[in-house]
Amino acid sequence: METTQERRSAPRKRVFKGAKIILNDSRSVIDCVLRNLSETGARIAVDTAAAIPPSFDLLIEGESQPRHCRRSWLAHRSLGVIFERKPSGEQAA
């Protein structure tokens, strides 16, 4: 059995945390759930990932500022994102 090498720059931890994908200058919001999280990115579960654009803002439950994200992969009901910048004045999870 072949093992896969970890390609992430930071280890992710499993979470089950609510979040909101913010689109169109905050005119559209999509509820989602974080399934894992690191300082550099996350895996997000959504009803349909196909509607999510290549970049967007993500407001994580308990944080006051959204994080700008870039989609790194896409599946039917989930997607992986890379955080483009940390929220100002806050530590990344």
Residue with tokens 């005119």: 27
Describe the chain by its helix, strand, coil percentages, rounded to 5.
5, 50, 45
DSSP, residue by residue, 42-71: EEEE-S-GGG--SEEEEEETT-SS-EEEEE
Tens-digit pLDDT string for the chain (93 aa): 444 445 556 677 999 999 999 999 899 999 999 999 999 999 999 998 888 999 999 999 999 999 999 999 999 899 999 999 755 555 444
* pLDDT at res. 1: 42
* pLDDT at res. 46: 96
Q: Could you state, in order of their start, the residue ranges of all structural domains in the chain?
A: 13-83
* pLDDT at res. 93: 43
CATH, range 13-83: 2.40.10.220
* pLDDT at res. 51: 85
